[in-house]
């Protein structure tokens, strides 16, 4: 994905890296043509981060379940 030059350096780039809301605000302040790639990049980055976080959480829950199954004695 090609981002406009102003999106790779300076305060605009900083705003884009901070959070999805700051990326959307920064994109709203740019002309119409460059704003669409900025919005797309922000949405894609947010979605990828959510996928990664969900995967890590799922793995940790499975590990916690196995540990609980092995550590907690049977009731009987």
User: Global pTM?
Assistant: 0.61
pLDDT computed for residue 14 by the predictor: 74
Q: For residue 44, count CB atoms less than 10 angstroms from its CB and return exposed for 0-12, middle for 13-18, buried for 19 or more.
A: exposed
Span 2-43, pLDDT tens digits: 555 555 566 667 776 777 787 777 777 776 666 777 777 778
CA atoms of 32 and 55, how far apart (whole Å): 35
CA atoms of 5 and 64, how far apart (whole Å): 46
Handedness of CA 9, 17, 43, 31 (dihedral sign): negative
Could you tell me which residues come within 8 angstroms of residue 2 by beta carbon, excluding any fewer than 6 positions away?
37
């Amino acid at each position: 994905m090609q981002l406009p030059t102003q999106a790779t350096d300076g305060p605009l780039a900083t705003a884009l890296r901070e959070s999805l809301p700051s990326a959307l605000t920064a994109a709203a302040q740019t002309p119409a043509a460059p704003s669409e790639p900025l919005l797309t990049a922000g949405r894609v980055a947010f979605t990828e981060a959510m996928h990664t976080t969900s995967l890590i959480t799922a793995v940790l829950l499975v590990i916690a379940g196995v540990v609980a199954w092995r550590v907690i004695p049977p009731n009987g």
